[in-house]
Amino acid sequence: MTFGQKLRKIRETNEISMRQLAEQISVSIPMICQLERGTKTVSIQTCQVLAKALGCTLNDLLPDETDTDMDTDTA
């Protein structure tokens, strides 16, 4: 699961709208939308603020290893 997918799932599980989350962490609604779609990268600081606002850990938001864009082939 990607960062954006996890963000959306946790947000929806907590019944928080994009608007509410955006207001809570002082960003725009389009920013939340872009994060969830994966079209915008997120800083570690913003990630920490998101985790606090959603009542989860930073690790809960991090993408699964299989969803990274990095090539792990060392051959």
49-66 pLDDT, tens digit per residue, is 999 999 999 999 998 877
Say yes or no to pLDDT of 71 above 50: no
23-42 pLDDT, tens digit per residue, is 999 999 999 999 999 999 98
Phi, psi for residue 23 in degrees, rounded to 5 = -65, -40
The whole domain housing 52 covers 3-60
* Residue 44 to residue 47: CA distance in whole angstroms: 5
Q: Is residue 68 part of a domain?
A: no
Q: Is residue 14 part of a domain?
A: yes
Q: Is residue 18 part of a domain?
A: yes
* Residue 71 to residue 59: CA distance in whole angstroms: 21
Q: Is residue 73 part of a domain?
A: no
Q: Is residue 67 part of a domain?
A: no
Which domain CATH number covers 26?
1.10.260.40
4-24 pLDDT, tens digit per residue, is 999 999 999 999 999 999 999
For residue 41, what are its two tokens?
Answer: 């990268």
Q: How many CA atoms lie within 13 A of 62 on its CB side?
A: 8
* Residue 65 to residue 50: CA distance in whole angstroms: 20
